[in-house]
Amino acid sequence: MNLSSTPVTRRALFASALTAATAAVTLVGCSDTEGAGTAAGSASASRRTLTVGMELAYPPFETKDDAGNPTGVSVSFMQDFADAYGYELKVENMGFDGLIPSLQTRKADCVMSSITITPEREEQVDFTDPYAVAQLAILANASSGIESADDLNQPGKTVAVKTGSTGDVYATKNLAQAEILRLADESACVTEVSQGRADGFLYDQLTIYRNQKANPDTTVAVFIPFQDPEYWGIAVQQGDDELREELNAFIAESRQNGEFDKLTETYLAEEKAAFDELGFRWFFDFDEQDAATGDSAAADAGEAANSEGKDA
Amino acid sequence: MRIELEGVTHAFADAPVLAGIDFADDVSTLAVIGPSGGGKSTLLRIVGGLIAPTAGTVRVDGAEVPRDGEALARYRASLGFVFQDGGLFHHLTARENIALPLRAVHGLAEDRARRRADELLERFGLAAEADKRPSELSGGQRQRVAIARAVAPRPRMLLLDEPTSALDPEYTTEVLNLLRDLKDGGTRFVAVTHEMGFARHACSKVAFLCNGRLAEYGESAEVFSHPRTPELKRFLGKLLEWRV
Amino acid sequence: MRNPFVAGRDGRATPAQALASYALVCAAVIGFFWLSLAMAGIALNLDFVAQFRTRIADGLLLTLEISVASLVLSCVIGLPVAVGQGSRILPVRYLCDLYVKLIRGTPLLAQIYLFFYIVGTAWGVENRFAAGVIILSVFSGAYIAEIVRGSLSSLDSGQLEAARAVGFTRAQTLRYVVVPQLVSRTLPALTGQFASIVKDSSLLSVIAVIELTQTMQEISASTFNLFGTYLVLAALYLVLTLPIMFVSRWFERRGSYAH
């Protein structure tokens, strides 16, 4: 990544602050080129930057580590993709509302931020093949008696959703009887439910599972599937077929070579166990037939593709 | 108007300003002179009921000056004050500055108060300024409006606190001329002033206040031509130093 | 005929001059914005305005209602606090002082979340409109207290002495001198504060008060028309705040005698 650029900037600033002669600045410039050359070794000089937009507020998929660096399933995934296809990865953190506009204004090359593929979004951007599948669940107030989505679709019931999320879309379409409370922040939605201001909060199963564990006395989780599964895709600029094809190829490889299992192991081991126990479909258990067939063969193919990518 | 002072003493935050003033006389026009910080303005405010003295008594026309309440407000209303600067209400026009106290304090009807204000503005050459606020007037015009406000309710006496010391010389003359005209018309006043010509020629009596004491008092012609105390001699000598 | 774009020596402009120059400046700003849009390759689509006009109008109305209610309530809070800051009863003085410092020293967003989810829940403030008005009033009250305190301390002692000298009683001094001077000094800043309230009310969207900003965010979320909605949002706020700012300026000119 762009680790090398930080000291250069500092030195350049330092130099200009001292109003040193231009020679000094040139010197810094020279040493920088040299340093970069040795660090990159034999890698080709034309490594392209891949700017990925993410909302780093959705652990463990997109989040920040304690030091503030981007981390999570999507970050690791994109890093592996960038390594394989010869990109310099740059993660841009932005609000969920700004993700699609960042593609339209070419501030980002692609967006991987647990975005559900919807026809409306497909009018604005292009999506890769789905890489994960999720389902909505309900975080209900413990004393609300909510046991299904139908229980929420009643006059006098209040449903909290995150503005613009698929929960919002679902509630707007299917819970017309209830009052819909659109909030910018997930934790605000959870607070609304745990305080009893809202009866339920519609969001993906993982978030609901985690927040129910965090508020065991005031909330209950309703996991009964009440809608079609949502497929998450990586969004690219409209017409950017080259990048989309590369991503599609990498997604296909990852499904074969255990990349997703590795990510699950790293970030989601506990949740996976809980989901298995509850009998839920796992995020990356997508195409059950394909997943069942020979792992070793797929892994080989993946490795081949990987090394090919590095050489390119 | 008879003014009687007995042992009038005043201190601001333990700093003595007046150290026991005794005085009794019938006053028609009195100039109070003396070096700065001598307690002249404080004494004027005590006589006018704006400050209560730390000790001593003040009697005017035989009655003690009230210390608070309605009686004090009525006492103040029976006098006319003119301050060095800033005595006019910023937010009111020249006419309203005169008419408002007439209505609110002296109970005049709206049209009578207005007529009285216009009559005085006319007399003082300020008819064109009636609808202007103080910030739109010259310093001399402001002081003339202030004098008009002070004389409007026909007070028993004017109390003037350095009415010209914030003014440019040309405005000083116009204000002093106005005061001389008022005196000739029978208006009584006590004036704290640095204008020795005015004190000497327009005031019948002069009081010289120095270091919180009444150092000299008498007919102005007498006091100016034959100063008795060394303090007054020194004071007048200093004033003459730069005389043309 | 003098140059239409240069004010007279006294710094004043004729109405025609003012109008011409203002139009020129507005055209330049709008032109710059259009150019930026073109250079960024963004095609503006404002079709959603017609489609959602009822919701937009409702949001605008609610913003106005919240702002007016908050202005009234924040004056009710701010005036006593301004007086209380000069109180001789020390706990009262320090309470007022602490209130002003706490409110002015923390972001409105934090105040909204903390008040709504902690204080509001504890004391049963369920209605979001009411909660929004209370939060915004408590916030704005601190600023109004500072405005009023500033006017109070700028009251000239010479004016009070003059009031005593003409024979006004305490009540008359308050009525004829203190209040009129305070009002004329406070009104411009108070009007400006109203414009701030209108803008600040947009943050109430985080607790799902469906005012103008929340309405536009909801529309943006379903149409993905981020630029169109925020452009219309900004324009609608200007429709509210520009006239207020002109009134504020007018008050300022009218009351300029004090300075």
Q: Do B87 and C181 touch (CB under 8 A)?
A: no
Judged by a CB distance cut-off of 8 A, whether residue A29 touches chain C is no
| pLDDT beyond 70 at A307 | no
Domain check: are C141 and C97 in the same one?
yes
Domain check: are C18 and C81 in the same one?
no
Top pLDDT among A6 and C29 is at C29
- For chain B, residues with pLDDT lower than 50 are none
| pLDDT tens profile C74-89 | 999 999 999 999 888 9
C38 within domain boundaries: yes
Q: How far, rounded to the nearest angstrom, does the alpha carbon of residue B8 sit from its chain's CA centroid?
A: 19
Last residue of one domain, picked from the residues B139, B155, B171? B155
Rg (CA), chain C: 23
What token pair was written down for B137? 């007037």
Last residue of one domain, picked from the residues B108, B138, B155? B155
Q: Residue A209 sits in which domain range?
A: 136-222
Domain check: are B132 and B201 in the same one?
no
Domain check: are A72 and A124 in the same one?
yes
Domain count, chain B: 2
What is residue A34's predicted lDDT score, i.e. its pLDDT? 39
A178 within domain boundaries: yes
User: What is the 8-class DSSP label of residue B135?
Assistant: G
Domain check: are A33 and A171 in the same one?
no
What is residue B208's predicted lDDT score, i.e. its pLDDT? 94
Which of the residue ranges A130-139, A233-242, A289-298, B134-143 would you say has the lowest mean pLDDT? A289-298
Q: Do A195 and C126 touch (CB under 8 A)?
A: no
Domain check: are A147 and A108 in the same one?
no
The nearest alpha carbon in chain A to C114 belongs to A188
Who among B50, B91, B104 is closest to C161 (CB)?
B50
Mean pLDDT, rounded, for C248-256: 81
C196 within domain boundaries: yes
Domain check: are C27 and C87 in the same one?
no
A230: Cβ contacts below 8 Å, ≥ 6 apart: A116, A117, A133, A134, A135, A136, A166, A204
| pLDDT beyond 50 at A310 | no
Domain check: are B69 and B98 in the same one?
no
A45 within domain boundaries: no
| pLDDT beyond 50 at A305 | no
Domain check: are B172 and B93 in the same one?
no
Domain count, chain C: 2
Chains that touch C (3 or more CB pairs under 8 A): A, B
Domain check: are B1 and B67 in the same one?
yes
> Residue C218 class from Cβ within 10 Å (0-12 exposed, 13-18 middle, 19+ buried)?
buried
Domain check: are B26 and B38 in the same one?
yes
Domain of residue C100, CATH code = 1.10.3720.10
Residues of chain C positioned with their CB less than 8 A from the CB of A183? 206-208
C251 within domain boundaries: yes
C174 within domain boundaries: no
Last residue of one domain, picked from the residues A167, A200, A222? A222
Give all strands of the β-sheet with B15-26 in edge-to-edge order: B15-26, B2-12, B55-60, B63-64
Mean pLDDT, rounded, for A9-19: 43
Return the biggest CA–CA distance within chain C.
Answer: 73
Who among C126, C206, C226 is closest to A97 (CB)?
C226
What is residue A289's predicted lDDT score, i.e. its pLDDT? 39
What is residue A225's predicted lDDT score, i.e. its pLDDT? 77
What is residue B70's predicted lDDT score, i.e. its pLDDT? 87
- Kindly tell me whether chain A and chain B come into contact, counting contact as 3+ Cβ pairs under 8 Å: no
C48 within domain boundaries: no
Domain check: are C95 and C121 in the same one?
yes
What is residue A206's predicted lDDT score, i.e. its pLDDT? 85
Who among C156, C159, C168 is closest to B73 (CB)?
C168
Domain check: are C20 and C94 in the same one?
no
A227 within domain boundaries: no
pLDDT band at A220 (very low <50, low <70, confident <90, very high): very high
Q: Do B104 and C176 touch (CB under 8 A)?
A: yes
| pLDDT beyond 70 at A301 | no
Find, among A215, A127, A196, A128, the residue nearest to A157 by Cα: A196
Residues of chain C positioned with their CB less than 8 A from the CB of B89? 159, 162-163, 176-177, 181
What is residue A271's predicted lDDT score, i.e. its pLDDT? 86
Give the span between the Cα atoms of A249 and A20, in whole angstroms.
51
Domain check: are B92 and B144 in the same one?
yes
Residues of chain C positioned with their CB less than 8 A from the CB of A98? 226
Judged by a CB distance cut-off of 8 A, whether residue B81 touches chain C is yes
| pLDDT tens profile C169-183 | 989 999 999 989 988
pLDDT band at A280 (very low <50, low <70, confident <90, very high): confident
Q: How far C11 CA lies from chain B's nearest CA (Å)?
A: 17
Mean pLDDT, rounded, for C142-163: 90
| pLDDT beyond 70 at C199 | yes
| pLDDT beyond 50 at C238 | yes
pLDDT band at A6 (very low <50, low <70, confident <90, very high): very low
Domain of residue A158, CATH code = 3.40.190.10
Judged by a CB distance cut-off of 8 A, whether residue A94 touches chain C is no
| pLDDT beyond 50 at A38 | no
Task: For residue B30, give the H/E element and its range.
Answer: strand B29-33
| pLDDT tens profile C11-63 | 778 888 888 888 999 999 999 988 988 887 777 888 889 989 999 999 999 99
Q: Best of C166, C172, C183 to disrupt the B interface by mutation (most B CBs within 10 Å)?
A: C166
Domain check: are A128 and A186 in the same one?
no
Q: What are residue A49's DSSP bridge partners?
A: A88
Find, among C61, C65, C54, C33, the residue nearest to C219 by Cα: C54
Who among C159, C255, C259 is closest to B89 (CB)?
C159
What is residue A306's predicted lDDT score, i.e. its pLDDT? 38
pLDDT band at C90 (very low <50, low <70, confident <90, very high): very high
Question: Contact at 8 Å (CB) between C158 and C35?
Answer: no
How do strand B15-26 and strand B79-82 relate by DSSP bridges?
Answer: unpaired
Q: Do A97 and C217 touch (CB under 8 A)?
A: yes
What amino acid is encoded at A19 in this protein? T
The nearest alpha carbon in chain A to C112 belongs to A188
Q: Residue C5 sits in which domain range?
A: 1-43
Domain check: are A236 and A102 in the same one?
yes
Domain check: are B58 and B91 in the same one?
no
Q: Do B101 and C161 touch (CB under 8 A)?
A: no
Domain check: are C204 and C240 in the same one?
yes
Domain check: are B119 and B4 in the same one?
no
C145 within domain boundaries: yes
| pLDDT tens profile A77-110 | 999 999 999 999 999 988 888 899 889 888 899 9
Give the span between the Cα atoms of B138 and A33, in whole angstroms.
74
Last residue of one domain, picked from the residues A194, A222, A250? A222
Mean pLDDT, rounded, for C211-220: 88
Domain check: are C206 and C134 in the same one?
yes
| pLDDT beyond 50 at A11 | no
Q: Best of C226, C229, C231, C233 to disrupt the A interface by mutation (most A CBs within 10 Å)?
A: C226
Range with the largest mean pLDDT of A238-247, A257-266, B160-169: A238-247
Domain check: are A98 and A241 in the same one?
yes
Q: How far C73 CA lies from chain B's nearest CA (Å)?
A: 28
Judged by a CB distance cut-off of 8 A, whether residue C105 touches chain B is no
Question: Contact at 8 Å (CB) between C139 and C200?
Answer: yes
Residues of chain B positioned with their CB less than 8 A from the CB of C165? 48, 50, 76, 79, 81, 83, 87
Mean pLDDT, rounded, for A277-284: 82
Domain check: are B234 and B136 in the same one?
no
| pLDDT tens profile A108-146 | 999 999 999 988 889 889 999 999 988 889 999 999 989
Last residue of one domain, picked from the residues B103, B120, B155? B155
Task: For residue A114, give the H/E element and its range.
Answer: strand A110-116
What is residue A287's predicted lDDT score, i.e. its pLDDT? 58
Mean pLDDT, rounded, for C102-126: 91
Domain check: are B151 and B161 in the same one?
no
Task: Report chain C residues touching chain A, CB-CB < 8 A.
Answer: 40-42, 113, 117, 121, 126, 205-208, 214, 217-218, 220-222, 224, 226-227
Domain check: are A181 and A119 in the same one?
no
Domain check: are C103 and C71 in the same one?
yes
Which of C:168-207 have CB within 8 Å of B? 168-169, 172, 176-177, 180-181, 184
Domain check: are A246 and A116 in the same one?
yes
Q: Residue B113 sits in which domain range?
A: 81-155
| pLDDT beyond 90 at A14 | no
Domain of residue B20, CATH code = 3.40.50.300
What is residue C6's predicted lDDT score, i.e. its pLDDT? 83
Q: Best of A111, A115, A158, A191 to disrupt the C interface by mutation (most C CBs within 10 Å)?
A: A191
Domain check: are C39 and C140 in the same one?
no
Q: Do C159 and B134 touch (CB under 8 A)?
A: no
Q: How far B98 CA lies from chain C's nearest CA (Å)?
A: 10
C175 within domain boundaries: no
Return the biggest CA–CA distance within chain A.
Answer: 75
Last residue of one domain, picked from the residues A164, A190, A222? A222
Domain count, chain A: 3
